[in-house]
Structure 1
Amino acid sequence: MAFVLGVALFAIGIAITIALHEWGHLTAARLCGMRVRRYFVGFGPTIFSFKRRHAGAGGHLTEYGLKAIPFGGFCDIAGMTAQDPIRPEEEPHAMYTKAWWQRIVVLLGGVAMNLVVGLVLIYFIAVSWGLPNLNVDLTPRIASVQCVSTGMNSDGSAKPCTGAGPAERAGLRPGDVLTAVNGTPVKGYPEAVSLIGADTEGDIELTVDRAGESKTVSITPEHVEMKAEDGSVTSRPAVGIGFERPKGGIDTYDAATAVPGALVFTGQLFGAVWDGLLSIPSKVPGVVASIFGAQRDPASPMSVVGASRAGGELVEQSQWPNFFLLLANLNYFLALFNLVPLPPLDGGHIAVVIYERIRDRVRRLFGKPALGPADYTRLMPVTMAFTAVLLVFGVVVIAADVVNPIRLF
């Protein structure tokens, strides 16, 4: 029940995130004197809508509504491009007729809203629970090699075991630093634990660094019975490794110190999100392979389906700080992703405005008149190609999240 609640709550969080992103565009457009025709959350068939008259932009009606599939949304601003059909009374308030800086402000409105939402969430986490210290050393250094208990007592605890475990028999020692699992590089011990414990058949190949020398061993794992809260029992591979755990991993704050703490943490998290965004193309082949049974990389991209499932697991384990942190991370990812300078993303439209500005300045240097708004029809091949890539990528990741989801626990 807690899992289902968590999935539902995270799905609602995604819908609110998207709604606020579009609200950022709407608010900025109104402040810049542009006319907003429609504001909808979701896509597909309309569930309900209503219209409201606004005094700004010459007085106009804006239709607000909710569509059947809440994982999306749009803010329809009159004249976003010079090729968009507009009515005569809309032309003075069309987006393409406004100053270049006003158009950029509107295009950045959604990104700015995601940044604000993410920062508010992080501040809330800091005050309520504290923030993870991202500078803590999470190096997957082996602290011990031990036997593996493959059975459970009636109360769910592990039965005693004796002798050497699979890792010790393979020659691993305390002090070895794990660098890869089945060829997948690992940076921290939580990732290493997840990869080793993933549902897999056959041997597990571990690569370790021992005093500067790389060593790879193939280990036949033993399978441990794991009892879930619902009483079901599953079998997970184990090799008998205990990792060194960092101390002081949570920094605590009060209402005042949480302000700089949240800002510093945001900067650190932004760097991690940026690295994750850049790594997406290299992880796509692994996501495709996972659909057909290959091991899923825990650091691979997730869709809204996978993110909602992860939210469900976090609630099931009462990991509320990480639940809200995942939602903040989503907001920062959306902010950065929307800045990619390709249409139809916000960054693509911003790139066009900047191009117009540079082009017209160069023309003025040669005594030529400005050309005005760019012709978006020339960008249609790029827009359609990138849209197709996004759709295919979305379908692939959703499929992977359904048939081979990333499990946090």
Structure 2
Amino acid sequence: MMSYSFGVLLFGLGIAVTIALHEWGHFATARFFGMKVRRFFVGFGPTVFSFKRGETEYGFKLIPLGGFCDIAGMTNQDEVTEDEKPRAMVNKPWWQRVIVLLGGIIMNLIVATTVLYGLAVTSGLPDPNPDTTAVVGQTGCVAPAQKPTGELEACTGVGPAGGAGLKAGDRIIAADGNNLESFAELREYVMAKPDETVSLTVVRDGQEIMTDIVVASAQRLNEKGELHTVGAIGVTSAPLDLFKTYGPVEAIGATANFSATVVGDTLRGLAAFPAKIPGVVAAIFGAERQLDGPVSVVGASRVGGELVERSMWPMFFMMLASLNFFLAFFNLVPLPPLDGGHIAVVLYEKVRDFFRRLRGLAPAGPADYSKLMPITIGFAAILMGVGAIVIIADVVNPIRIFG
């Protein structure tokens, strides 16, 4: 229980750091271009504590579900003093404004790829081409039948595979001359050969040897729960090594390739996000929670706790990397108040002024954000509503990846 609680707190801390780094991306780029940053806060709601250094106030707020970087003159509705006007964001070149707005997104991408690179050189990343060859884990006796509960009856002896000399670590590459790609293919082949002799091609210590095994006959339950006769040789598979560790240089390409896969999954997840909300609502009232459904900060932290409880640290950090990818691309959605919405406004100004120049007109200045307020308020309300729904679901019916 202690490790679970530690994992929950640690993942929550990881989220807070992620938010802080996202806002720091805006902060650092704004300062670089000479803009005035008034406040830099992690969280929303009442202020827990703050301090002022230079012209910027830094601090934490009570609700750790976001953060903000208050840049003077971010929109034309932001009141600025005479001293702030030269450093106001709206008065800076359009490309500088876009870079500042992208600063948080870029920071999320840097964090995500850095975490994945760290995994690549330590515990490894999922191998895109894993070796699925059937490798013997251990040999044993063959249970004559299977109980209605699914348990196997007791048995004795070394079993057909052990009696024929198969050993742990043997790689079975063919059966009766038929190439085998995986342990599943070996199992299916053997199950269809009760009381028959099967010749297996085995690689041991780099040498190929042929081993003849008389397949035992056993009773097993089928999909309908009925007993039927199958073949068995008394062998289990060694765990597949689905992760691959890379050297410092090789890990760069591996990280890039795996990041591309995660980005693709993230974009598909974002596209499917609205369709999954009804399922989350149903889960609040007792329906089964889908493992691939949306989760809040609360739900993600609980999953992080489960992973730490089982010492699954690579998966813990992989989930943190995935969260950063999600935040990056979610913030690119071209609707205010998200970063993508502000970027869309800046690009609109640039395109509008281009056509004004073609007509011999002067630039029109910053866009009137008051016209966007209905969209901003409406989308913000939707985000808050969806966030509340997901948080409630994560409290009353949380996702449990281990059942």
Structures share fold, TM-score greater than 0.5: yes
Question: Aligned letter for 1:334?
Answer: L
Query: What does residue 148 of structure 1 align with?
Result: 150
1:80-125 CA distances to partner (integer Å, 9 max, x unpaired)?
Answer: 0111111110000000000000000000000000001001100111
- Give the corresponding residue for 2:95: 101
- Whether the 8 Å contact between 2:219 and 2:227 is mirrored in structure 1 is no
What is the distance in 2 between the residues matched to 1:299 and 1:379?
33
Task: State how far apart, in whole Å, the 1-side matches of 2:227 and 2:106 are.
Answer: 49
Aligned-pair distance for 1:261?
Answer: 1.1
Q: Shift in Å at residue 282 of structure 1?
A: 1.0
The residue that corresponds to 1:375 in the other structure is 368
**1:323-334 superposed matches below 5 A:** 323-334=316-327
The alignment status of 1:316 with 2:316, answered yes or no, reads no
Which letter does structure 2 place at the counterpart of 1:259?
I
Distance in 1 between the 2:70 and 2:316 partners?
32
Residues in 2 aligned to 1:268 and 1:135: alpha-carbon distance in whole angstroms:
14
What residue number does 2:269 align with?
Answer: 276
Q: Is the 8 A contact 1:146 1:165 kept in 2?
A: no
Give the direction of change, closer, same or farther, for the CA distance of 1:166–1:365 in structure 2 (3 Å limit). Answer: farther
In 1, are the aligned partners of 2:353 and 2:362 still within 8 Å (CA)? yes
Give the distance between the partners of 2:386 and 2:227, measured in 1 at CA: 39
Deviation of 1:169 after TM superposition, in Å, equals: 2.0
Partner of 1:255: 248
* CA positional deviation for 1:248: 4.1
Deviation at 1:256, TM superposition (A): 2.0
* Equivalent residue pairs, number: 316
Residues 145 and 172 in structure 1, CA contact (< 8 A), matched pair in contact too: no
Name the residue aligned to 1:20. Answer: 21
Distance 2:273 2:29 in 1: 31
Q: In 2 relative to 1, CA 100–172 (structure 1 residues): closer, same or farther, beyond 3 Å?
A: farther
Structure 1 counterpart of 2:224: 169
Does the CA contact (< 8 Å) of 2:280 and 2:390 recur in 1?
Answer: yes
Shift of the 387–246 alpha-carbon distance from structure 1 to 2, 3 Å rule, reads farther
State the Cα deviation string for residues 235-275 of structure 1 (Å, max 9, x = none).
xxxxxxxxx99944112112221121111111111111111
2:82 maps to which residue? 88
**Alignment correspondent of 1:228:** none
CA 1:322/1:86 → structure 2, altered by over 3 Å: closer, same or farther? same
C-alpha contact (below 8 Å) 1:115/1:331 kept by paired residues: yes
CA 1:123–1:398 in structure 2 vs 1: closer, same or farther (change >3 Å)? same
Q: CA deviation at 1:366?
A: 1.1
The alpha-carbon distance between structure 1 residues 77 and 309, as it changes in their structure 2 partners (threshold 3 A), is: same
Query: Is the CA contact 2:283–2:393 (under 8 Å) kept in the aligned structure 1?
Result: yes
1:35 paired residue number = 36
**Cα distance between partner residues in 2 of 1:245 and 1:360:** 65
> Could you tell me whether the CA contact under 8 Å between 1:147 and 1:165 is conserved in 2?
no
- Asked if structure 1 preserves the Cα contact closer than 8 Å seen for 2:131 and 2:241, the reply is no
- Offset of 1:51 from its aligned partner? 1.1
1:341 and 1:134, CA in 2 relative to 1: closer, same or farther beyond 3 A?
farther
In structure 2, distance between residues paired with 1:305 and 1:137: 37
Give me the whole-angstrom Cα distance separating, in 1, the residues matched to 2:3 and 2:341: 41
Partner of 2:121: 127
Aligned in 2, Cα 1:312/1:166: closer, same or farther, shift over 3 Å? farther
8 A contact 1:26–1:36 mirrored in 2: yes
**Deviation by residue 1:114-152 (Cα, 9 ceiling, x = unmatched):** 0010011001111110001356699xxxxx9995249xx
Measure the CA separation in 1 of the matches of 2:355 and 2:299.
48
- Please state how far the C-alpha of 1:368 moved relative to its aligned partner: 1.4
TM-score, normalising length from structure 2?
Answer: 0.74
Equivalent residue, structure 1, for 2:206:
none
**Residue 288 to residue 169, structure 1, CA distance change in 2 (3 Å):** same
Change (3 A) 1:71 1:27: same
Amino acid aligned to 1:74: F
Q: What one-letter code is carried by the residue in structure 2 that aligns with 1:82?
A: N
Q: Measure the CA separation in 1 of the matches of 2:12 and 2:103.
A: 23
Listed one character per residue, the Cα deviations across residues 301-354 of structure 1 (whole Å, up to 9, x for unaligned) are 100000000000000010000000000000000000000000000000000000
* Structure 1 counterpart SS, 2:67: strand
SS of residue in 1 equivalent to 2:84: helix
Tell me the amino acid that sits aligned with residue 169 of structure 1: K
Who is 1:292 aligned against? 285
Shift of 1:71: 2.5
User: For the Cα contact (< 8 Å) 1:145–1:168, is it kept in 2?
Assistant: no
| Structure-2 separation of matches of 1:165 and 1:381 | 64
d(CA) in 1 for partners of 2:293 and 2:238?
24
Distance 1:113 1:146, change over 3 A: farther
Task: State the alpha-carbon separation in 2 of the partners of residues 358 and 65 from structure 1.
Answer: 38
User: Percent same amino acid among aligned pairs?
Assistant: 57
- Greater Cα radius of gyration, structure 1 or 2: 2
Moved over 3 A (4+): 134-138, 144-147, 163-167, 170-173, 244-248
CA gap of 1:97–1:361, structure 2 versus 1, over 3 A, is same
CA RMSD, aligned part only?
Answer: 2.6
| Counterpart contact for 1:146–1:168, Cα < 8 Å | no
1:157 alignment counterpart:
none
Shift of 1:45: 1.7
State the 1:289 CA deviation. Answer: 0.6
Q: Which amino acid in structure 2 is aligned with residue 47 of structure 1?
A: V
In 2, Cα distance between the equivalents of 1:392 and 1:70?
A: 17
Amino acid at match of 1:38: R
Taking structure 1 as the reference length, the TM-score comes to: 0.73
**Match of 1:47?**
48
CA, structure 1 residues 283+22, in 2 after alignment: closer, same or farther (shift >3 Å)? same
Corresponding position of 1:364: 357
Looking at structure 2, the residues matched to 104 and 120 of structure 1 have their Cα atoms a distance apart, in angstroms, of: 24
